């Protein structure tokens, strides 16, 4: 029968196809890989790429392999929507991973919903994204209201703060967080001394800081991006304003610490994931692999990028076990994700597309991000 | 104390706007062209300054400013020679030339992203995070450099344009190109030299601004405010540009504090609209070049 296998091999080579049993599964990935918030997209992509490499080389999906199709949205919602439309139309993706900003994700879910392609975001936080009952969208990052409520509770109970002043990025990342924070703060009796929205292009925060300092709150709380957090911390030091400062997820970003300089020390934040905080075999194995490969600890976005790809791969695996891998079966299985042992902790996708997972609160001391509390 | 600190901060940022605005005015005087790439030239200058600091970590900051200005001026000379002058020589319409400047700005911004990366870069020099006391007021370590550069540039440009042959030739070619040409001034070279000087001044602004914030491919956006400063100081007037920059810088800082800080970024344009409504040709006498 040798001649038959040879003939088949010749036919395969001639038509340029791989055996039917092994398929390439095109998966789109989008996020900002350039621009002032490039860290969100490029770091989560690096984590996703490592996951895809492992999934493909270790036969996680049997003979099938994930083919990742990345696109840079430069944190521009219009570009995000176009990129996702292109990967659906031209590449026929089975699912889309992204985005890494709330604005980009909000634009893209309109496209994935219309095309009936499942979308799983590693980082998008805006509560509104899951309030519209979109059956094609889920995320592995907690919604902004969860972040904000936990922050308010932590400030009031653990830090014994009586009052705060809010700085809010004037977009659909900043405002939902600030709204949810204010609501919870009122419940807890935490006084809001003031709330100021700033434009994302702003670089000179001294007038805002001066006005806020006059109100003498116990804490400054920022709902914005890391470049703004870094500049605010730096300018506070220049103005000699000594105020406990909560900077959200910026605390885990190297560029925040670079921009703020020594002023970053003593600031507080909440991260998607803090390397070393997950004491499970999966969490430890991920750290070991990452450190062997990159000779450093993974960042929060790299951890989230890694896990988002595994959550999706797990859904694909279950869909394949059910006999059919389609956008619909992947979507159905994605929403059935329960207690998935991720590198960043156990992950459960809730019926509305939100997630249940650990949330670390941290402080920056001597240039190191130190875990304060791990919320579940 | 806060008002003084804010005033100093406004003056410092105003100087940066003023320097970029001076670049706008210089090119406008020389070529009758609004160069919307000026902000991006400033951005490239800031990145060149970053590379100089990385390559020569021990270099004094004043030398970094000079070297970045020289390299960026050379780049500006080449941009004028290869991008603008051929179009000017072929009699391209003003609107196309302005579009050309926007295109050059986009190329510079994307080029910077390819060379230096997309992430913001912080100058690896102590001056970035240094705070010094100035008459008992804490100010960033770069402020004295900004003040010194501003004074030296005003004196230097005044001397250059009134006492040097080259400066007089540049003014002559800007004011009356035909007569200047008859008198032996090479108009093409004069235009390229003006562009180079404007680029060098832009780089100085970039290197002085980066320690206040950081160098990033989108920092050229500051050019929009600088354009407002140049317009309210009368486009084409270098002293007007510098004064316009200071008005915008102080106006947005103090105005932001007094009115609403969230509208601070709009203050530059409010001031421009208010001043141009009262004085349509800008603050300086003479009016814009026609």
* Residue-by-residue DSSP string for B248-281: HHHHHHHHHHHS-GGGGGGHHHHHHHHHHHH-TT
Q: Could you count the other beta carbons within 10 Å of the beta carbon of residue B182?
A: 9
pLDDT of residue B93: 85
- Report the SS3 class of residue B124: coil
Report, as an integer, the average pLDDT of A332-345. Answer: 94
Q: Could you count the other beta carbons within 10 Å of the beta carbon of residue A172?
A: 21
- Residue A339 in this model has a pLDDT that exceeds 60: yes
Substitution target from A34, A38, A204, A232 for chain B, most B beta carbons within 10 A: A204
Indicate the pLDDT class of residue A12, thresholds 50, 70 and 90: very low
Query: What residues of A are in contact with residue B261 (Cβ under 8 Å)?
Result: 196, 198, 207-208, 211
For residues A68 and A154, what is the distance between their CA atoms, to the nearest angstrom? 39
Structure tokens, A184: 């919870």
Question: Model pTM?
Answer: 0.80
- Residue A106 in this model has a pLDDT that exceeds 80: yes
> Residue A197: beta bridge partners?
A168
For residues A316 and A55, what is the distance between their CA atoms, to the nearest angstrom? 11
CB contact under 8 A, A202 and B120: no
For residues A185 and B48, what is the distance between their CA atoms, to the nearest angstrom? 47
CB contact under 8 A, B261 and A198: yes
Q: Could you count the other beta carbons within 10 Å of the beta carbon of residue A3?
A: 7
For residues A175 and A169, what is the distance between their CA atoms, to the nearest angstrom? 7
| β pairing state of A219-223 and A163-169 | parallel
Substitution target from A36, A169, A206 for chain B, most B beta carbons within 10 A: A206
- C-beta separation of B18 from B201 below 8 A: no
CB contact under 8 A, A239 and B138: yes
- Residue B235, Cβ density class (10 Å: 0-12 exposed, 13-18 middle, ≥19 buried): buried
Substitution target from B12, B17, B214 for chain A, most A beta carbons within 10 A: B214
- Residue A260 in this model has a pLDDT that exceeds 50: yes
Chain B nearest-CA residue for A214: B2
For residues A74 and A36, what is the distance between their CA atoms, to the nearest angstrom? 8
pLDDT digits 0-9 by tens, A128-146: 889 888 999 999 999 888 8
Sign of the Cα torsion B67, B72, B74, B75 reads positive
Query: Between residues A105 and A13, which one has the greater pLDDT?
Result: A105
CB contact under 8 A, A262 and B2: no
pLDDT of residue A15: 42
Query: What residues of B are in contact with residue A198 (Cβ under 8 Å)?
Result: 261-262, 264
| β pairing state of A24-31 and A95-97 | parallel
Structure tokens, B208: 């002085």
Query: What residues of B are in contact with residue A211 (Cβ under 8 Å)?
Result: 257, 261
Report, in angstroms and rounded to the nearest whole number, the Rg of chain B calculated over CA atoms.
18
Report, as an integer, the average pLDDT of A306-333. Answer: 93
Chain A nearest-CA residue for B131: A238
- C-beta separation of A168 from A174 below 8 A: yes
A:254-283 residues touching chain B, CB 8 A cutoff: 255, 258-259, 261-263
For residues B146 and B254, what is the distance between their CA atoms, to the nearest angstrom? 19
Which residues, at least 6 apart from B23, have a Cβ–Cβ distance to it below 8 Å?
Answer: B35, B38, B41, B42, B198, B199, B201, B202, B205, B226
pLDDT of residue A21: 59
- C-beta separation of A114 from A301 below 8 A: no
Query: What residues of A are in contact with residue B120 (Cβ under 8 Å)?
Result: 36, 227, 255, 258-259
Q: Within an 8 Å CB–CB cutoff, is residue B97 touching chain A?
A: no
> Residue A67: beta bridge partners?
A26
pLDDT of residue A371: 86
Q: Could you count the other beta carbons within 10 Å of the beta carbon of residue A53?
A: 14
pLDDT of residue A7: 53
- Report the SS3 class of residue B221: helix
Query: What residues of B are in contact with residue A240 (Cβ under 8 Å)?
Result: 131, 138
- C-beta separation of B262 from A197 below 8 A: yes
CB neighbour burial string for A214-223, b if at least 16 within 10 angstroms, e if fewer:
eeebbbbbbb
Substitution target from B118, B250, B264, B268 for chain A, most A beta carbons within 10 A: B118
Distance from CA of A31 to the nearest CA of B (A): 13
CB contact under 8 A, A204 and B131: no
- C-beta separation of A317 from A60 below 8 A: yes
Report, as an integer, the average pLDDT of A326-344. Answer: 94
Long-range CB contacts (< 8 A, 24+ apart) of B126-129?
B127/B61, B127/B211, B128/A261, B128/B211, B129/A234, B129/A237, B129/A261, B129/A262, B129/A263
pLDDT of residue A144: 85
For residues B230 and B217, what is the distance between their CA atoms, to the nearest angstrom? 22
pLDDT of residue B258: 77
For residues A71 and A29, what is the distance between their CA atoms, to the nearest angstrom? 6
* DSSP structure class, residue A262: G
Structure tokens, B168: 């007089």
Q: What is the ipTM of this complex?
A: 0.84
pLDDT of residue B191: 85
pLDDT of residue B286: 54
CB contact under 8 A, A238 and B131: yes
pLDDT of residue B288: 43
- C-beta separation of A331 from A135 below 8 A: yes
- Report the SS3 class of residue B114: helix
pLDDT of residue A6: 55
Q: Cis bond leading into A99, ω under 30°? A: yes
The parts of chain B modelled with pLDDT lower than 50 are 287-290
- Residue A305 in this model has a pLDDT that exceeds 50: yes
For residue B36, give the nearest of B47, B26, B24 by alpha carbon: B24
Distance from CA of A65 to the nearest CA of B (A): 30
- C-beta separation of A150 from A375 below 8 A: yes
Indicate the pLDDT class of residue A207, thresholds 50, 70 and 90: confident
* DSSP structure class, residue B84: I
pLDDT of residue B62: 94
CB half-sphere exposure, A358, CA atoms < 13 A: 24
For residues B41 and B198, what is the distance between their CA atoms, to the nearest angstrom? 9
- C-beta separation of B101 from B31 below 8 A: no
CB contact under 8 A, A234 and B129: yes
- Report the SS3 class of residue A201: coil
pLDDT of residue A16: 41
For residues A366 and B4, what is the distance between their CA atoms, to the nearest angstrom? 32
Of A197, A202, A261, the CB nearest to B129: A261
* DSSP structure class, residue B121: B
CB contact under 8 A, A263 and B265: no
For residue A241, give the nearest of A270, A225, A257, A217 by alpha carbon: A217
Of A7-11, A177-181, B137-141, the one with minimum mean pLDDT is A7-11
pLDDT digits 0-9 by tens, A52-87: 999 999 999 888 999 999 998 888 889 999 999 999
Query: What residues of B are in contact with residue A35 (Cβ under 8 Å)?
Result: 118, 217-218
pLDDT of residue A120: 95
Q: Could you count the other beta carbons within 10 Å of the beta carbon of residue B99?
A: 13
For residues B103 and B117, what is the distance between their CA atoms, to the nearest angstrom? 20
pLDDT of residue A13: 44
For residues B247 and B287, what is the distance between their CA atoms, to the nearest angstrom? 19
Chain A nearest-CA residue for B251: A207
For residues B23 and B220, what is the distance between their CA atoms, to the nearest angstrom? 13
Report, as an integer, the average pLDDT of A315-327. Answer: 92
For residue A326, give the nearest of A115, A82, A122 by alpha carbon: A115
Substitution target from B20, B109, B119, B133 for chain A, most A beta carbons within 10 A: B119
Structure tokens, A83: 């990129």
Chain B nearest-CA residue for A260: B129
């Amino acid at each position: 029968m040798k001649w038959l296998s040879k003939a088949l091999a010749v036919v395969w080579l001639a038509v340029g196809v791989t055996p039917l049993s092994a398929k390439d599964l095109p998966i789109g990935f989008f996020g900002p890989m350039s621009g002032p918030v490039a860290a969100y997209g490029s770091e989560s992509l690096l984590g996703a790429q490592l996951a895809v490499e492992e999934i493909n080389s270790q036969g996680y999906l049997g003979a099938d392999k994930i083919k990742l199709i990345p696109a840079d949205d430069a944190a521009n919602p219009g570009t995000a929507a176009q990129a996702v439309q292109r990967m659906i139309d031209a590449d026929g993706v089975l699912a889309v991973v992204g985005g890494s900003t709330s604005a980009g994700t909000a634009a893209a879910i309109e496209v994935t919903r219309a095309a009936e392609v499942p979308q799983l975001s590693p980082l998008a936080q805006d509560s509104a994204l899951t309030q519209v009952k979109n059956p094609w969208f889920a995320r592995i990052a907690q919604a902004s209201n969860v972040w904000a409520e936990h922050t308010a509770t932590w400030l009031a109970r653990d830090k014994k703060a009586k009052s705060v002043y809010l700085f809010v990025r004037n977009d659909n990342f900043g405002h939902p967080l600030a709204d949810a924070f204010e609501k919870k703060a009122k419940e807890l009796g935490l006084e809001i001394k003031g709330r100021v929205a700033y434009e994302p292009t702003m670089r000179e925060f001294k007038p805002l800081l001066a006005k806020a300092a006059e109100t003498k709150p116990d804490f400054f709380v920022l709902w914005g991006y890391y470049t703004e957090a870094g500049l605010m911390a730096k300018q506070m030091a220049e103005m000699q304003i000594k105020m406990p400062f909560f900077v959200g997820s910026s605390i885990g970003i190297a560029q925040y610490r670079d921009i703020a300089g020594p002023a970053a020390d003593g600031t507080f934040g909440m991260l998607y994931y803090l390397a070393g905080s997950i004491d499970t075999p999966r969490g430890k194995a991920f750290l070991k692999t990452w450190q062997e490969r990159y000779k450093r600890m993974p960042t929060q976005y790299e951890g989230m990028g890694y896990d988002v790809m595994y959550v999706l791969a797990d859904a694909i695996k279950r869909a394949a076990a059910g006999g059919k891998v389609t956008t619909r079966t992947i979507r159905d299985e994605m929403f059935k994700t329960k207690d998935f042992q991720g590198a960043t902790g156990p992950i459960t996708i809730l019926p509305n597309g939100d997630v249940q997972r650990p949330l670390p609160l941290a402080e920056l001391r001597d240039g190191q991000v130190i875990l304060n509390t791990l919320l579940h | 104390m806060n008002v003084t600190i804010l005033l100093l901060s406004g003056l410092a940022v105003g100087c940066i706007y003023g320097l970029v605005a001076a670049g706008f005015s210089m090119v406008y005087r020389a070529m009758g062209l609004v160069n919307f790439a000026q902000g991006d030239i400033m951005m490239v200058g800031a990145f060149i300054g970053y590379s100089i600091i990385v390559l020569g970590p021990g270099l004094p900051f004043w030398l970094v400013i000079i070297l970045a200005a020289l390299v960026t001026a050379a780049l500006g000379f080449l941009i004028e020679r290869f991008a603008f002058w051929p179009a000017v020589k072929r009699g391209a319409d003003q609107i196309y030339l302005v579009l050309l400047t926007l295109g050059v700005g986009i190329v510079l911004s994307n080029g910077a992203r390819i060379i230096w990366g997309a992430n913001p870069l912080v100058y690896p020099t102590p001056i970035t995070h240094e705070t010094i006391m100035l008459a008992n007021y804490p100010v960033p370590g770069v402020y004295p450099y900004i003040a010194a550069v501003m004074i030296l540039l005003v004196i230097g440009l005044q001397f250059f344009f009134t006492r040097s042959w080259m400066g007089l030739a540049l003014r002559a070619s800007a004011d009356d190109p035909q007569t200047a040409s008859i008198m032996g001034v090479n108009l093409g070279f004069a235009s390229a030299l003006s562009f180079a000087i404007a680029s060098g001044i832009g780089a100085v602004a970039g290197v002085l601004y980066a320690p206040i914030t950081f160098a990033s491919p989108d920092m050229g956006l500051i050019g929009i405010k600088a354009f407002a400063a140049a317009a309210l100081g009368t486009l084409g007037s270098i002293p007007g540009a510098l004064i316009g920059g200071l008005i915008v810088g102080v106006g947005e800082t103090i105005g932001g504090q007094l009115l609403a800080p969230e509208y601070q970024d709009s203050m530059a344009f409010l001031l421009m609209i208010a001043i141009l409504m009262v004085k349509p040709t800008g603050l300086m006498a003479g009016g814009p070049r026609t």
